[in-house]
Structure 1
């Protein structure tokens, strides 16, 4: 599926900044991730496969700032963060250091992984990465998730849904009103494409679920009504480290969200989980 006029994400200088991340925004985003039905699904499947998170070797491919790896680390996983952008890795390292966490940092291209990584991890994951690739590289992203897994390991990919209509509507309205939108090239996935690519990568027990509630998509991409009326808790300032850890762990522990059919079909993120047989 080669799409002309678009370039694959690796090596793109638009990714990342030399400035250190805004920790208030990062913490708010982590709380958001920890509260989603997608995260509830990830937790359930990891616990089902391994019993708990403690001591699991995980790798986030094309990690960016590695926010989800932070959640894994807070639950006891041993995280590796991989990206080919040194600014992104520096930002990810900075974020984890604020929480007194020391993930392993690897500067590498996710399309051309070092051989030493093959078969080393219980969980290989990416969040908002695969949609920035086309042609043969798009399949290679899935192949490399599977390649670094141990037998029985889980691949987790969080990607945009082609039928996540609230995102697409909100983006169109912003363009119409000449408001800024992210110009990074991406092509969202259908469930069919996700399933086929996972199977072609050798993954089994593949499941694909919507990762968010439509009301939250509406708030993210159209109008944040709860925040306007002060009904949604937002962490505008990062609390002290111990309090921040407690808040995130509490959110994860309490998150047992089940996603309903309409959210499953039309939420913006899709979560794919597959097992290396």
Structure 2
């Protein structure tokens, strides 16, 4: 039993567990819509597009999460504006915003004479460095995200499965889409400090994708979200436990575990389906 609880006796590991589970819940709620709306590329672009805000906040000695949030909001608005003002597809708009923000961030970092911007922490995260104030910010983000998802559940549902119906019912599809992008930005901003921008999909995509494999046949989105949240919390705990005893990077371990669980579930489901067909 001591093997399973020993790491969390350390206050910094316990804080990491609390913060990680909160982020896992937020990413499960929003990540489910990312999967259903096929907005994975936007999440990827967002995770890199936060660099300018993070770099400026770091150089000024401000809160990195706030800097990342401002950068994410600018990028979300830019994606919607570019798509509306041109005939280009949304993927092209996202790609253009992605390279613009990432390049700007690199320029800011390269012009800095100090080592204030820790790109390693930005890319790979530092879950064990989470502070109490960060946990409060994450709690606020979870509450805001859950409230927005509850308010916009019907418009999100219509926009995802029948966009024409969303127009017919006057559910403001453009505003609904912007709100969804902002929520993805919220989850990404909160997650980057936990697992880093390169590994953010370990929480934003992994658990919801696994939950979709296990429960998509039910057609019940709340069930998928609940299962994704449970999977995410279990992966946070297991990843921290493994990283403690194996002396590996915590963020990468959590993300790798999330991917492994996804592929195990996918393989198991395919094997069961083939066995049922042959029976």
Query: By the TM > 0.5 criterion, same fold?
Result: no
Judging by fraction of residues, say which structure has more strand.
1
Judging by fraction of residues, say which structure has more helix.
2
Normalization by structure 2: what TM-score? 0.29
Normalization by structure 1: what TM-score? 0.29
Larger RCO, structure (CA 8 Å, separation 6 or more) = 2
